[in-house]
Structure 1
């Protein structure tokens, strides 16, 4: 499944297909990142409380947690390329439609429509397509730049959303029109995956029967390890870095929200840089080997935040965490793509979306609830120790072998 100039296992930078996959993945973080800064303006425009305006985020996130495997099922049955186009189109049209409504409940309804097909679901479909088109170390290389695309878009989203929201409450929602453009480009120019990517036959069955078959197709131990690592990594990210650290910086060091956002975004930008080199790392380490190294970086970073006595120290510690995140994200995606049979790859990758959304829900309370009694430093330190324990457990699981999930690339 090589591609243009990627026969050596590197990134096929001259391939138009690559940029269509990158564009699809980059649309995904537009889910809540560009809308968050607009919530105060939305509350004012519709004369609702700040708590009710927060439902704009909840209405988007809730459907995806349950419907991601359903979208994956249809992607496996009818072809992932055929499903990603209507998902992009619906995501974009429903988002832009928010700009013309006059009732708050309509905003929530349109956001629910978006959440049923977009956001992390789009990212998972893009990653499933990576698994269709590429294999070996080239899969890791492309998965790395796709993950970097998601990270960069996620970092730029709040800044862009905040700038647009300062002009008008509905201005950020016009950005969803980009998804319609990407849908048209994917429909017109993305070549169908190789016949081998579909296996001998497409997935059959629906609902629970499909899910049982998809789960049964996975090696249990490896699947639990990879999904578990995905859950824990995003709990640490959403709960620790995106929730606890901002409160710590604001409460202890008196940093304004703008400086807090810039500090966290700057440090986490390292994740995108590291992810780009995933293909090169895959020549020497298995996917689980890279995940193990990532959890070591998580442990050092979070313990470093706990031990720091200045905002600069926290910044340096977050940079270490960012390196770990850049190692973990593309590696778990590549591992899942390699574990899944072609006929179930969409469902297996979409289940990853449900895991990520679950982490988004449980991560923040795990840090904010104990912080009410002991502050944020101790929960972050405990989380760092826990990440270190996970790293040791993963090292034992690797057992010194290069390719726990198959070949050195994690195949």
Structure 2
């Protein structure tokens, strides 16, 4: 059965792109929304066994679930199609995301959070795959860049929203997960399936071609998450105790991430063989500056440089990974890419903590991550020419 569809059949335009970019932010919502209510949750369940481990686990377990299950989601995407899984994942996201509104057991809440991660694995894999399916050339590059812009900005918005909604009751922010129902209604209304259901055996995935992109994406996820996780600790070490100042610096870094991601559409024609070294170099230089900074102004400047690099990094790694893969393999490749990215983000604080203990200070740990980024900048300069090839689409022009 042919997998080539006429462009008119998919109705891919601004509404479809905006929907897919918006739905991509739901994984960020799952990760950061409850960050401001962690102390309130701890107080609500004071005295419960395992409290010190379970409360932070409620924040991080969705990312772990995404890292583990995104490859499974990718296989389902290629087997049964994109829209079935996306719709089901959005409904599951709403169901399990709002579950803490009525759960009275901390282990049960953590379990519901893990199931949110299962839903996020499906959402992220489907949305990214569909952007690759429904758009080509400069339009695809623009939406891949916008995907990173939206997720970066939404992190700031969702943290603020979580804190505001939790002012009266720590459970209130969980109502926001009900947005998954709206997404589940919008998907069949705005999108049509670009890939027919596969009745036979799936065509083999070119794993050999994916090894290097996935390895770089795993480390890239670690580099990407380092300024997000560690910036507040750096400022604290400089004696900054004002939450307003810390928030302002973090917001500025998020804006720089958006600027880096927004530049991808204009620079994409140069290919990953140029953009990956540039992105890793900016991240490495910026993180080295943060590690050595002796003032808030220097931290702000260097964090902006690092974040601009990481903003450019994500869409560059994604286009390199998907490359010229055919539509029948794209779901599985996207699943593995998502798993590598979230896996790197999940181990980031653990790696930085281990380096801090080994080297004696957070600044040295950040310097170590900076050296790793610079090493990857040098390594990716030798990418083969085909790494710069534009990603093909299964949609006929």
The more displaced of 248-257 and 295-304 is 248-257
Distance 2:387 2:178 in 1: 42
Report the aligned-residue RMSD: 2.5
Deviation at 1:203, TM superposition (A): 7.7
Deviation at 1:317, TM superposition (A): 0.5
Aligned 1:279-358 pairs, distance under 5 A:
279-283=265-269, 285-358=270-343
Task: Return closer, same or farther for 1:351/1:257 CA change in 2, 3 Å cut-off.
Answer: farther
Deviation at 1:3, TM superposition (A): 7.3
Task: Give the secondary structure class of the aligned counterpart of 2:387.
Answer: coil
Q: Detail structure 1 runs of 4+ shifted over 4 Å in the superposition.
A: 1-4
Aligned residue number for residue 363 of structure 2: 377
Kindly indicate whether the alpha-carbon contact (under 8 Å) linking 1:128 and 1:337 is maintained by their aligned counterparts in 2.
Answer: no
Deviation at 1:127, TM superposition (A): 1.0
Aligned 1:97-176 pairs, distance under 5 A:
97-118=99-120, 121-176=122-177
- Name stretches of at least 5 consecutive residues in structure 1 with no aligned partner: 5-11
Distance 1:233 1:337 in 2: 16
Task: Return closer, same or farther for 1:117/1:86 CA change in 2, 3 Å cut-off.
Answer: same
Aligned partner of 2:204 among 198, 202, 213: 213
Distance 2:311 2:200 in 1: 35
Aligned partner of 2:212 among 207, 225, 228: 225
Task: Return closer, same or farther for 1:213/1:327 CA change in 2, 3 Å cut-off.
Answer: same
Aligned partner of 2:198 among 189, 199, 202: 202
Kindly indicate whether the alpha-carbon contact (under 8 Å) linking 1:253 and 1:311 is maintained by their aligned counterparts in 2.
Answer: no
Distance 1:371 1:256 in 2: 24
Aligned residue number for residue 191 of structure 1: 192
Kindly indicate whether the alpha-carbon contact (under 8 Å) linking 2:63 and 2:343 is maintained by their aligned counterparts in 1.
Answer: no
Deviation at 1:22, TM superposition (A): 1.7
Deviation at 1:51, TM superposition (A): 3.1
Deviation at 1:310, TM superposition (A): 0.6
Distance 2:251 2:61 in 1: 25
Task: Give the secondary structure class of the aligned counterpart of 2:25.
Answer: helix
Q: For this pair of structures, how many residues does the alignment match?
A: 382
Aligned partner of 1:234 among 221, 230, 239: 221
Kindly indicate whether the alpha-carbon contact (under 8 Å) linking 2:321 and 2:333 is maintained by their aligned counterparts in 1.
Answer: yes
Distance 2:211 2:199 in 1: 22
Deviation at 1:295, TM superposition (A): 0.6
- Name stretches of at least 5 consecutive residues in structure 2 with no aligned partner: none
Aligned residue number for residue 96 of structure 1: 98
Distance 1:101 1:370 in 2: 38
Kindly indicate whether the alpha-carbon contact (under 8 Å) linking 1:69 and 1:351 is maintained by their aligned counterparts in 2.
Answer: yes
Task: Give the secondary structure class of the aligned counterpart of 1:54.
Answer: helix
Distance 1:37 1:342 in 2: 41
Aligned residue number for residue 7 of structure 1: none
Q: What is the TM-score when the length of structure 2 is the normalising length?
A: 0.88
Kindly indicate whether the alpha-carbon contact (under 8 Å) linking 1:203 and 1:344 is maintained by their aligned counterparts in 2.
Answer: no
Kindly indicate whether the alpha-carbon contact (under 8 Å) linking 2:54 and 2:110 is maintained by their aligned counterparts in 1.
Answer: no
Aligned residue number for residue 28 of structure 1: 27
Deviation at 1:313, TM superposition (A): 0.4
Distance 1:325 1:71 in 2: 26
Task: Return closer, same or farther for 1:389/1:380 CA change in 2, 3 Å cut-off.
Answer: same
Distance 2:248 2:92 in 1: 32
